Amino acid sequence: MVNLLLSYGAKPELQDSDGQTALHKACENNSKNVITTLKNFNQLLLNIKDNKNRTPIDCCKIQETKSILS
């Protein structure tokens, strides 16, 4: 689904009212496939900070998920 949305021009750099992107949300939810897809689509997503000054990797709750972003 993420690939389809991206192919139709979805903008994963958009932030919600908390300043989070789709990658922040994917990290919070341990969605490894989504994390990999978004990371491969645009490496700059890794640097976007939310309203609490957290990058997506800061939102990861599981070390295995953090390693995908490293």
Q: Assign residue 43 the CATH number of its domain.
A: 1.25.40
- Residue 52 belongs to some domain of the structure: yes
Contact 47, 55 (CB under 8 A): yes
The Cα diameter of the chain in Å comes to 32
CA distance 40 to 36: 6
- Is 7 a domain residue? no
Tell me the whole-structure pTM to 2 decimals. Answer: 0.94
Total number of domains in the chain: 1
Domain presence at residue 11: no
- Evaluate whether residue 3 is within a structural domain: no
As a 3-state breakdown, the chain gives helix, strand, coil percent values, each rounded to 5, of 55, 0, 45
Q: What is the pLDDT of residue 21?
A: 98
Does the residue 37 lie in any domain? yes
**Among all chains, which residue has been given the structure tokens 């139709």?**
8
Question: Average pLDDT for consecutive 10-residue bins of the chain (70 residues)?
Answer: 97 98 97 97 97 97 90
**What is the domain range of residue 54?**
18-69
Percent of the chain with pLDDT over 70: 100
